Protein backbone atom coordinates (compact mmCIF):
# COMPACT_ATOMS: atom_id res chain seq x y z
CA UNK A 1 0.00 0.00 0.00
CA UNK A 2 2.88 2.29 0.79
CA UNK A 3 4.28 1.64 -2.65
CA UNK A 4 0.93 2.56 -4.18
CA UNK A 5 0.87 5.90 -2.38
CA UNK A 6 4.40 6.65 -3.31
CA UNK A 7 3.75 5.91 -6.94
CA UNK A 8 0.49 7.84 -7.34
CA UNK A 9 1.08 10.60 -4.88
CA UNK A 10 4.37 11.50 -6.47
CA UNK A 11 4.11 15.11 -7.75
CA UNK A 12 5.64 14.12 -11.09
CA UNK A 13 3.08 11.39 -11.68
CA UNK A 14 0.26 13.61 -10.50
CA UNK A 15 1.37 16.36 -12.86
CA UNK A 16 1.42 13.95 -15.83
CA UNK A 17 -1.94 12.57 -14.88
CA UNK A 18 -3.36 16.10 -14.64
CA UNK A 19 -1.93 16.94 -18.08
CA UNK A 20 -3.41 13.77 -19.54
CA UNK A 21 -6.78 14.46 -17.98
CA UNK A 22 -6.60 18.05 -19.20
CA UNK A 23 -5.82 16.88 -22.77
CA UNK A 24 -8.65 14.36 -22.65
CA UNK A 25 -10.98 17.05 -21.40
CA UNK A 26 -9.87 19.42 -24.19
CA UNK A 27 -10.43 16.69 -26.79
CA UNK A 28 -13.83 15.90 -25.36
CA UNK A 29 -14.73 19.60 -25.40
CA UNK A 30 -13.66 19.96 -29.04
CA UNK A 31 -15.60 16.83 -29.94
CA UNK A 32 -18.67 18.11 -28.12
CA UNK A 33 -18.37 21.51 -29.82
CA UNK A 34 -18.19 19.82 -33.23
CA UNK A 35 -21.19 17.65 -32.45
CA UNK A 36 -23.14 20.64 -31.15
CA UNK A 37 -22.31 22.55 -34.33
CA UNK A 38 -23.43 19.60 -36.48
CA UNK A 39 -26.66 19.28 -34.52
CA UNK A 40 -27.28 22.99 -35.06
CA UNK A 41 -26.69 22.58 -38.81
CA UNK A 42 -29.07 19.63 -38.90
CA UNK A 43 -31.73 21.58 -37.01
CA UNK A 44 -31.40 24.41 -39.54
CA UNK A 45 -31.74 21.91 -42.39
CA UNK A 46 -34.80 20.36 -40.76
CA UNK A 47 -36.39 23.81 -40.47
CA UNK A 48 -35.66 24.45 -44.16
CA UNK A 49 -37.18 21.10 -45.10
CA UNK A 50 -40.27 21.85 -42.99
CA UNK A 51 -40.68 25.17 -44.81
CA UNK A 52 -40.31 23.40 -48.15
CA UNK A 53 -42.86 20.79 -47.11
CA UNK A 54 -45.28 23.52 -46.03
CA UNK A 55 -44.84 25.20 -49.41
CA UNK A 56 -45.43 21.93 -51.26
CA UNK A 57 -48.51 21.25 -49.14
CA UNK A 58 -49.90 24.71 -49.97
CA UNK A 59 -49.19 24.15 -53.69
CA UNK A 60 -50.94 20.78 -53.57
CA UNK A 61 -53.97 22.30 -51.88
CA UNK A 62 -54.15 25.07 -54.49
CA UNK A 63 -53.82 22.47 -57.25
CA UNK A 64 -56.59 20.37 -55.69
CA UNK A 65 -58.88 23.40 -55.57
CA UNK A 66 -58.03 24.28 -59.19
CA UNK A 67 -58.79 20.70 -60.22
CA UNK A 68 -62.16 20.80 -58.47
CA UNK A 69 -62.94 24.12 -60.14
CA UNK A 70 -61.90 22.73 -63.54
CA UNK A 71 -64.07 19.64 -63.00
CA UNK A 72 -67.07 21.85 -62.17
CA UNK A 73 -66.40 24.00 -65.25
CA UNK A 74 -66.11 20.87 -67.40
CA UNK A 75 -69.41 19.51 -66.08
CA UNK A 76 -71.10 22.85 -66.76
CA UNK A 77 -69.59 22.96 -70.25
CA UNK A 78 -70.70 19.41 -71.00
CA UNK A 79 -74.23 20.23 -69.81
CA UNK A 80 -74.33 23.36 -71.99
CA UNK A 81 -72.97 21.35 -74.91
CA UNK A 82 -75.70 18.73 -74.48
CA UNK A 83 -78.37 21.44 -74.25
CA UNK A 84 -77.00 23.16 -77.37
CA UNK A 85 -76.95 19.85 -79.24
CA UNK A 86 -80.54 19.15 -78.22
CA UNK A 87 -81.55 22.65 -79.37
CA UNK A 88 -79.75 22.03 -82.67
CA UNK A 89 -81.62 18.76 -83.18
CA UNK A 90 -84.93 20.54 -82.49
CA UNK A 91 -83.93 23.38 -84.80
CA UNK A 92 -83.01 20.95 -87.59
CA UNK A 93 -86.33 19.17 -87.12
CA UNK A 94 -88.19 22.48 -87.36
CA UNK A 95 -86.17 23.42 -90.45
CA UNK A 96 -87.05 20.09 -92.05
CA UNK A 97 -90.74 20.69 -91.30
CA UNK A 98 -90.53 24.18 -92.76
CA UNK A 99 -88.88 22.85 -95.90
CA UNK A 100 -91.59 20.21 -96.20
CA UNK A 101 -94.33 22.82 -95.81
CA UNK A 102 -92.51 25.08 -98.23
CA UNK A 103 -92.25 22.27 -100.75
CA UNK A 104 -95.98 21.60 -100.34
CA UNK A 105 -96.96 25.26 -100.61
CA UNK A 106 -94.60 26.23 -103.42
CA UNK A 107 -96.54 24.44 -106.17
CA UNK A 108 -99.73 26.14 -105.03
CA UNK A 109 -98.02 29.52 -104.98
CA UNK A 110 -96.61 28.88 -108.47
CA UNK A 111 -99.99 28.02 -109.79
CA UNK A 112 -101.52 31.07 -108.12
CA UNK A 113 -98.84 33.39 -109.46
CA UNK A 114 -99.08 31.98 -112.97
CA UNK A 115 -102.81 32.50 -112.94
CA UNK A 116 -102.29 36.08 -111.93
CA UNK A 117 -100.01 36.74 -114.86
pLDDT tens-digit map of 10-38: 555 556 666 668 888 999 999 999 999 99
Mean pLDDT, rounded, for 84-109: 89
pLDDT score for 70: 98
- State pLDDT tens for residues 52-62: 999 999 999 99
Residue 77's alpha-carbon distances to 1, 56, 82, 87, in angstroms, are 102, 31, 9, 15
**Does residue 75 carry a pLDDT above 80?**
yes
Stretch among 5-9, 36-40, 85-89, 93-97 having the lowest mean pLDDT: 5-9
Q: Where are the domains of the chain?
A: 2-116
Longest dimension (CA), the chain: 159
CA distance 115 to 117: 5
| Residues 60, 62, 63, 65, CA torsion sign | positive
- pTM for this entry: 0.53
Amino acid sequence: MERFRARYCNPRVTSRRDKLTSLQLDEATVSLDLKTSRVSELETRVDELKATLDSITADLEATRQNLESAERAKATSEKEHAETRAALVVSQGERDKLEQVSNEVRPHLMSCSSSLI
